[in-house]
């Protein structure tokens, strides 16, 4: 595991909800770090872009990781795995990944949450509503949160999160939220006063 860039530690530290920005280029990663993001999410695939992103930021890097890709890249501080119905493959993948980096589990519904709790005992939950927008998406992730055990990290993944959405997630007890890079500055809140 990459020392000094532990994803879970970065998300759980400090006051308020942590913003994890979805990025695809080094410039975006550097910009969101300056704007106050506390982590970046990178899609698996192009190792060259991932290496450039890793070089452009000190933020922990969460990488989406489909089971067919095998070894996680050394630039990944954590891997995001979708919880599906193939329990045996998921358990094998999780065991394999956890030797190299932290593992976060993307969960879309109550059945997946139950499966994750029974078979995986995750430390990091990413509660998502991929087929919903707006108020419906917010309600779906909020409905899943009460079943996440105390002491575990809960991160919301919503398309187009607004400042009001982030506030509602924070009040409900979420530790983090995945956002688009262009919205980080708007969601961070007021800048600290000059002293």
| Residue appearing with tokens 């993944």 | 157
Count how many domains the chain has. 1
Q: CATH number for the domain including 103?
A: 3.20.20.70
Residue 27 lies in a domain: yes
Q: How confident is the model at residue 126 (pLDDT cuts 50, 70, 90)?
A: very high
Establish if 189 belongs to a structural domain. no
194 lies in some domain: no
Residue 49 lies in a domain: yes
16-54 pLDDT, tens digit each: 899 999 999 999 999 999 999 999 999 887 667 899 999
Domain for residue 173, yes or no? yes
Taking residues 132-145, report their average pLDDT.
Answer: 93
45-54, 73-82, 148-157, 181-190: least confidently modelled range: 181-190
Please report whether residue 118 resides in a domain: yes
Q: Which two tokens stand for residue 58?
A: 């000190």
Query: DSSP string covering 37-77, please?
Result: -SEEEE-SS-HHHHHHHHHH--S-EEEE--GGG-SPPTT-S
Within a domain: 165: yes
pLDDT (0 to 100) of residue 67: 65
Query: Is 193 part of a structural domain of the chain?
Result: no
Dump pLDDT digits (tens) for 76-94.
Answer: 899 999 997 677 778 887 8
**Mean pLDDT calculated for residue range 181-186:** 81
Give the pLDDT band (50/70/90) at residue 2.
very low
Q: Which residue has the higher pLDDT, 96 or 103?
A: 103
Confidence of residue 63 (pLDDT cuts 50, 70, 90): very high
Give the relative orientation of helices 163-172 and 134-144 as an angle to the nearest 10 degrees. 10
- The parent domain of residue 29 ranges over 7-182
């Amino acid at each position: 595991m990459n020392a000094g860039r532990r994803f879970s530690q970065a998300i759980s530290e400090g006051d308020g909800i942590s913003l994890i920005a979805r990025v695809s280029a080094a410039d975006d990663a550097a910009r969101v770090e300056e704007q106050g993001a506390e982590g970046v999410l990178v899609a698996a695939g192009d190792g060259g872009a991932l290496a450039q992103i890793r070089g452009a930021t000190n933020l922990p890097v969460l990488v989406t990781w489909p089971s067919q890709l095998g070894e996680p890249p050394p630039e990944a501080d954590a891997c995001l795995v979708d919880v599906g119905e193939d329990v045996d493959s998921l358990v094998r993948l999780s065991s394999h990944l956890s030797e190299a980096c932290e593992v976060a589990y993307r969960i879309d519904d109550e059945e997946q949450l139950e499966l994750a709790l029974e078979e995986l005992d995750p430390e990091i939950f990413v509660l998502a509503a991929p087929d919903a927008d707006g108020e419906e998406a917010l309600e779906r992730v909020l409905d899943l949160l009460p079943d996440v055990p105390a002491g575990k990290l809960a991160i919301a993944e919503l398309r187009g999160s607004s400042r009001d959405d982030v506030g509602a997630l924070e009040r409900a007890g979420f530790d983090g939220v995945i956002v688009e890079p262009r919205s980080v500055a708007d969601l961070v809140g007021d800048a600290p006063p000059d002293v």
